[in-house]
Amino acid sequence: MKRWLPVILPLVVLAGGVFGAWALMTARQDVETRPPEILPPLVRVVEATPQTLQLRVQSQGTVMPRTETSLVPEVAGRVVAISPSLVDGGFFGTGDVLLSIDPRDYELALARTRAEVAQAKTQLAREFAEAQVARREWRALGRGEPSPLTSRALHVAEAKAALASAQAMKEQAAYNLTRTKIRAPFAGRVRNKQVDRGQYVLPGAPIATIYAVDAVEIRLPIPDHELAYLDVSLRYQGEDVKSKSGPAEIGRASWRERV
């Protein structure tokens, strides 16, 4: 009996397993199949309505005057008067006299050229009278047409040229006299002054730096991804913004006037 036990025991276990599997398969219930339930996603619905939005673009820059120049004299001389406006930060209007140079040398030069003009006119009148006499005398001799030298036509032409030169020198002297008063070419302010009363100035030497106050310019760097927010033409080449009709150009014009 003990000799058959190792053979019978596995058979009993195998038979028990088969019987248990058969019992489970017999006792199982049919599985009820159902279609999968699809849950709709949760969303929030907002009705779209058109409206006007203002997009803001952040930037920063330095305010610079549109017109800035160095004030220089056109004639040499000693400074005899300076306007109270010619100081650092001073205001002045268009045509204001900012600085005066001693005009005495230029007044004397004008008087001298006037005298030269008078002498040239006298010389021309003398040459013209002598030319008439020479032509009458030549006609009395009856020897045909006189030469330009005999009729003194060359002398008259020379006297006319001398008169024209004297008149040009007179106009130059008068113009130099007006240059002794340095006037403001526009309304603006003084950035810095480099001259004082009693100083001798030379033509072309800067005496002050001035700038206009009618308009200013600000260079504003804008990133490429924000450039689309601005109604700015990429072909803009510096035309007068007040002549534009677009909203961006009008905005810049009104902003410039306020500044």
Q: What pLDDT is stored for residue 259 in this prediction?
A: 36
- Residue 5: what pLDDT? 65
Residue 151 is predicted with a pLDDT of 62
pLDDT at 207: 92
Report CA-CA distances (Å) from 11 to 4, 14, 15, 56, 61.
11, 5, 6, 89, 98
CB 71 within 8 A of CB 98: yes
Does residue 240 register a pLDDT over 70? no
In this prediction, residue 148 carries a pLDDT of 63
The Cα 80–Cα 106 span in angstroms is 14
Instruction: Give the distance from CA 184 to its chain's centroid.
Output: 20
Average per-residue pLDDT for the chain? 80
Helix (H) or strand (E) holding 18: helix 5-27
Select from 62, 72, 96 the least CA-distant residue to 188.
Answer: 96
101 touches 72 (CB < 8 A): no
The radius of gyration of the chain's CA atoms, rounded to the nearest angstrom, is: 52
Crossing angle of helices 104-141 and 153-178, rounded to 10°: 170
What is the tens place of the pLDDT at every residue in 162-213? 999 999 999 999 999 999 999 999 999 999 999 999 999 999 899 999 999 8
pLDDT tens track for 108-160:
999 999 999 999 999 888 888 887 777 776 676 766 666 666 667 778 888 88
* Range list of β-strands (E), 157-232: 181-183, 188-193, 200-201, 208-212, 216-218
Share of the chain above pLDDT 70, in %: 79
Q: Lowest-confidence range among 49-63, 180-194, 231-245?
A: 231-245
- Is the pLDDT confidence value at 106 over 60? yes
Phi-psi region of 95 (alpha: psi -120 to 50; beta: other; left: phi over 0): left
- Determine the pLDDT at residue 258: 37
